[in-house]
Amino acid sequence: MIFPIFFTFVLLLSTSHAADFCVGDLKAPESPAGYSCKKAEKVTVDDFVFSGLGVAGNTSNIIKAAVTPAFAAQFPGVNGLGISLARLDLASGGVIPFHTHPGASEVLLVTQGSIVAGFISSANSVYYKTLKKGDIMVFPQGLLHFQLNGGGYPATAFVSFSSPSPGLQILDFALFKNDLPTSLVAATTFLDVAQIKKLKGVLGGTN
C-alpha cells in the first residue's frame, strides 16, 4: 500500500503554515499586520500558552491597581490572530482611570469582587454599571472607559481585546506624564494651570 498523495500533501502543508498561525518573532521586522512569523519548525506548544496572568499584579501604588498584559509583545502566540487578553487587579478603592484602546474593542469579565465600569460614547452618552462576579461588559473600540473597585474587597477581572496589540492610552498619563507644555495642556483641555501643575507633579511630567 503506497501513498503518493502524501508527497503532495507534505509539500503543501509544510510550506503553508501561515494560513494557521504566525507566532511573533519579536526581533524580526514588524509590519502594519504585526510581527514577522517565527519559523514553523521552531514553534512549540509553549508559544501558544502564557502563564503570566495567573499571578496578581502589585496594587501597592497610587491607583491601587495593576494591569498585566498578554498582548502580542508579551504573548507572541496571538500575533496575527485578532485577539489578546490582560488581567486587572484592583485593591479596595483601586481604579483603572479613564483610558482608551485605540486599536481594539474590549470585553471585561469580573472574576472576583465587584467593579463599577463605564464608557462614554461619541454622542457624549454615559453608560456605566456595577458589575458582579461573572458579569461581562463590552467597551467599543477607542472610547474612553474606566474600571473602579467601589467595594471593600479586592477585585479581579480579565479583559479580552479584539486585537493582538490593542494599545493603551491612559488619559492622565497622556496629559500629565510627559513634557507637553502646561500652557498647551491648558489651551487644549480648559483645565486650570494650577490643576495641571499639580497632576504633572504627581505623575512626573515636566514643562
Q: Taking Cα atoms as reference points, which of 26, 75, 14, 16 lies closest to residue 47?
A: 75
In what helix (H) or strand (E) does residue 176 lie, and over which residues does it extend?
A: helix 171-176
Least gap, CB of 47 to a second copy (angstroms): 8
Least gap, CB of 36 to a second copy (angstroms): 4
Least gap, CB of 118 to a second copy (angstroms): 8
Q: How far is CA 79 from CA 51, 73, 128, in A?
A: 17, 8, 32
In what helix (H) or strand (E) does residue 34 lie, and over which residues does it extend?
A: strand 34-37
Figure out which of the listed residues 92, 102, 154, 182 binds a second copy, where binding follows CB under 8 A: 102
**Three-class SS state of 153:** coil
Supply 122's cell numbers: 461619541
- Return the residues of window 3-32 that contact a second copy according to CB under 8 A: 3-6, 8-9, 11-22, 25-26, 28-32
Say if residues 163 and 82 touch (Cβ distance below 8 Å): yes
Calpha distance 102→123 (Å, rounded) = 18
Least gap, CB of 112 to a second copy (angstroms): 9
Which CB sits closer to a second copy, 153 or 198? 198
Calpha distance 150→110 (Å, rounded) = 13
Residue 197 binding a second copy, by CB under 8 A: no
Which CB sits closer to a second copy, 35 or 155? 35
Residue 188 binding a second copy, by CB under 8 A: yes
Cα 36-69-79 angle, rounded to 5 deg: 20
Spell out, one character per residue from 48 to 87, where the chain touches a second copy: x when CB under 8 A holds, - when not. xxxx-xxx-xxxxxxx-xxxxxxxxxxx-xxxxxxxxx--
Query: How many residues of this chain bind a second copy (CB under 8 A)?
Result: 143
Which CB sits closer to a second copy, 129 or 153? 129
Figure out which of the listed residues 152, 177, 197, 200 binds a second copy, where binding follows CB under 8 A: 177
Burial class (CB in 10 A: 0-12, 13-18, 19+), 126: exposed
Least gap, CB of 156 to a second copy (angstroms): 10
Residue 103 binding a second copy, by CB under 8 A: yes
- Return the residues of window 137-166 that contact a second copy according to CB under 8 A: 137-144, 146, 148, 158, 160-163, 165-166
Burial class (CB in 10 A: 0-12, 13-18, 19+), 29: exposed
Least gap, CB of 60 to a second copy (angstroms): 6
